[in-house]
Amino acid sequence: MTSIPNSKSKIPNLLFPWLDALAITTWGILMLQYWLTGKLYLLIHPNFFGLVIVCGIALLVIGSLKMREIWRQRRRMVTSSTQHLNLFPPGWGSILLLATAILGLTITPRVFASDSAIQLGVNDLLTTGRVQPQSFRASTRPEERSLVDWVRTLNVYPEPDAYTGQKVKVQGFVIHPPNLESEYLFLARFVLTCCAADAYPVGLPVKLAENQNRYSPDVWLEVEGEMVTENLAGKRQLTIAANSMKEIPQPRNPYSY
C-alpha cells in the first residue's frame, strides 16, 4: 500500500535550513554591530576585538553561502513523510540562537556600576591587592596618572605618606560605601582583564571640601586635588583631597585594563 506524503511535515522541514542560515547570519551581524557601536567595550578586553571581528565576518560569509546553496537546491529537496516525536525537533537550536541574537541587537549591555562594586564590601574597595603592577611607570608625572595608575603605584610602594602633596587629576564614578563618613566619597573604575565576567572595581577615597556637592552614586566625575593620608576603615589610606570636581559624561569605554 502506497503511503501518502504528509504535506504538513514538508513545510517545517523546508524552513529548518533557512533558520540555520538566518541564525548564522544574524550572529555575524550582532558581532559586527557591537564592534561598530562600541558595545563591545562593555563585554570584552580590546585585545579580543580582532577575533570577534574575524568571527563576525566569517559568520556572514558562511550564512550567505548557506542561503545561496539552499536557494539553488530548494526545488530539489526531498523531505521524508515520517514523523519523529523528539523533545527537541530539528531546527530548535537554530530558533534559540536566532532569538538570542535578536535580543542582543535590541538590548544594550549594562555597565557595571556602584551597586556591583558595593557588594564587595568597603574593605575590598580600600584594598588594592588585586590590581597587577605591570603598567606602573615611575617616570609618570603624578598629575598624569589615571585612577588605576595610582592604584598600581600603591601596589609597588604602599606607604601613603610618600605621596603626600602630589597633584592628582583622575576620572571615575562615585560610590558611597555604607561605613565611609559623609565627608568622603569613593571614586572608582572597573578593571577588565578578559571579559565582563572578571571585572572588579578599584579606586581611591576622595575627601570633600565643605562647599563641595555630595554627588549621587554612579555619577562620573573628574577630580583635581592633591594626595593626603587619612585614617579610613581602621587603616591609613591614601586619599584625594579634592580642590575641584566636575561632572562628566560616562566614557565610551568605561573600563580600565
List all residues 6 or more positions away from 74 whose beta carbon is below 8 Å from its beta carbon.
Answer: 14
What pTM did the predictor assign? 0.73
Domains of the chain: 7-106 (no CATH), 114-256 (2.40.50.200)
Give the single-character DSSP code of 129. Answer: T
Nearest to 206 by CA among 249, 243, 247: 243
**CA dist 31 to 28, 107, 247, Å?**
5, 13, 32
**26: exposed, middle or buried (C-beta count within 10 Å: 0-12, 13-18, 19+)?**
buried
Nearest to 185 by CA among 216, 209, 206: 206
User: What are the φ and ψ backbone dihedral angles of 10, each rounded to 5 degrees?
Assistant: -70, -40
Q: What is the pLDDT along the chain (257 residues), one digit of tens a residue?
A: 444 444 444 445 556 677 888 889 999 999 999 999 988 988 888 999 999 999 999 999 999 988 888 777 765 654 444 444 343 344 677 788 888 888 888 888 877 777 677 665 544 555 554 555 444 455 568 888 999 999 888 888 889 999 999 999 999 999 988 878 888 999 999 888 888 778 888 899 999 987 777 888 999 999 999 999 999 877 899 999 999 999 999 988 888 87
**CA dist 141 to 127, 138, 146, 228, Å?**
23, 8, 10, 17
d(CA 236, CA 161): 9
CB 141 within 8 A of CB 128: no
Q: Residue 79, SS3? A: coil
CB 26 within 8 A of CB 102: yes
